[in-house]
Structure 1
Amino acid sequence: MKALIPLLIGALMAAPSLANDCYDKFIEDGAYDSRSFQIPDYQLENDFESESLDLSKEAVVQVAKNLGCHESELGLHNKSAQVARCQEIVPGNELSKVCYLESDVGYFMISKDMLSNINIIFNRWD
């Protein structure tokens, strides 16, 4: 039992550092406050027009994986649904739809362009 205590303490201490490692990958160790990423929509399962929020979460997870992060490091599931929302900037204009997501590493704005690309803007927490 005594041997398990140091292991448990070590595991608990490592969890926050994983999120910090992912955060460092997004900001490239302080080189960026904000970054933009682009993913072709055919690489994602969901559809932006009908499943905007699901596709946005999927796109953010894909960007994180491309940077070498694990999905669990983002903390998307730790945030309430009130901090994840999609809305048309110009009501009635589907092309103006933007989604906003918060995570443990920062917040994201996601949109789709007319060339079938998903554009992801990352902003760090200050």
Structure 2
Amino acid sequence: MKIARLVLITSFLLVAVSQFTSASESTCIDNLTDGYTADSATHTLNINDLEIRDYGNDHVAFSIKIVRELLEEVGCRRNDVNFGRGSRGRSHSRCEQVLRGTPSSRVCYVESNLGYFFVTRDLLTNVHITFNRWD
């Protein structure tokens, strides 16, 4: 009897936590898309306004850090995003130069549980992040 009751309470707590996490992720997407008014949205951050260490040639790590900065700016919680999980299981993030030999043409694609992000830099200090939510 006590074991059945413990299992029932544990099951209830697991369901409640998963619903809370889902609601929190949904709120984060709402913040990123200005109230779901669009399926994608572009944001710009100025690197001079942020404290970001030098990631050298690890452009994916830099892009994930920039996305984290954006998420914090729009009011998302750190636990709302999971960069290891995409729409089809494990995420696949990468950076490529659109025009080989031209570093300014680099685009980074970052997958997460919320959706995917394109991260680009201009020739000054701005980073442009385009968020696209999963359908």
Please tell me the TM-score bracket, short chain as reference: 0.7 to 0.9
Query: Does residue 106 of the first structure (1) align with residue 112 of the second (2)?
Result: no
Kept after mapping to 2: 8 A contact 1:34/1:124 = yes
Structure whose CA Rg is larger? 2
Identity of aligned residues (%): 26
Backbone CA RMSD of aligned residues? 2.1
Return the alpha-carbon distance in structure 2 between the equivalents of residues 117 and 16 of structure 1.
Answer: 32
Output the CA distance in 2 between the equivalents of 1:49 and 1:116: 16
Q: Could you tell me which residue of structure 2 aligns to residue 41 of structure 1? A: 47
- Alignment TM-score, normalising by the size of structure 2: 0.80
Change (3 A) 1:9 1:124: closer
Question: Does residue 1:87 correspond to 2:99, yes or no?
Answer: no
Q: Report the more deviating stretch, 43-52 or 113-122.
A: 43-52
Structure 2: state its 5+ residue gaps.
Answer: none
Counterparts of 1:99 and 1:78 in 2: how far apart (Å)?
Answer: 17
* Cα pair 2:85 2:111 within 8 Å, conserved: no
Cα distance in structure 1, aligned partners of 2:109 and 2:82: 15
Please tell me whether the aligned partners of residues 107 and 118 of structure 2 are also in contact (alpha carbons under 8 angstroms): yes
- Provide the TM-score with structure 1 as the length reference: 0.85
Residue 17 (structure 2) pairs with residue 11 (structure 1):
yes
Once the two structures are superposed, residues 19-70 of structure 1 have per-residue CA deviations (whole angstroms, 9 ceiling, x without a partner) of 1111111122221222111112231424476221111001111111111101
**What is the number of residues matched between the two proteins?**
125
List gaps (5 residues or longer) in structure 1. none
Residue in structure 1 matched with residue 74 of structure 2 by the alignment? 67
